[in-house]
């Protein structure tokens, strides 16, 4: 083989070694990027699980609040009924007091008249 041919092979080998070195560096950079991506994905999954757990808690709290709302709504209805009953009874008692007051006034007038007659 001649020297030019050996130089050419040597140059090709040198270029191949340089390319392999660059490729290895790129592969290592990609490996580091993939490792970072895996870490990010793991963190995202953890955050997603935390969010799902918090969402479940919020849904449970919402259900509890809805139940309490319906309970309070029923209690309010019963309270309104009781208040209406109290108002009705008070109105009846007020009418009775008016009747009794009128009777008392009439009776006092009659007593006064009887005293004057004597």
- In this prediction, residue 44 carries a pLDDT of 98
Model pTM score: 0.54
Residue 85 dihedral angles phi and psi, to the nearest 5°:
-65, -45
- Quick one: how far is CA 108 from the chain centroid? 69
Encoded tokens for 64: 């509890």
Length of the chain: 118
C-alpha–C-alpha distance, residues 74 and 117, integer Å: 64
DSSP character at residue 36:
H
% residues pLDDT > 70 (the chain):
98
Q: Grade residue 115 by pLDDT with cuts at 50, 70 and 90.
A: confident
């Amino acid at each position: 083989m001649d020297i030019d041919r050996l130089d050419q092979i040597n140059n090709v080998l040198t270029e191949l070694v340089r390319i392999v070195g660059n490729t290895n560096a790129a592969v290592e950079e990609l490996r580091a990027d993939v490792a970072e991506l895996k870490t990010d994905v793991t963190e995202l999954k953890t955050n997603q699980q935390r969010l799902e757990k918090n969402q479940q808690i919020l849904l449970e709290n919402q259900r509890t609040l809805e139940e309490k709302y319906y309970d309070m709504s029923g209690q309010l209805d019963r309270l309104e009924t009781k208040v209406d009953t109290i108002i009705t009874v008070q109105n009846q008692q007020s009418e009775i007091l008016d009747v009794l007051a009128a009777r008392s006034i009439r009776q006092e007038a009659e007593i006064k008249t009887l005293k004057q007659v004597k």
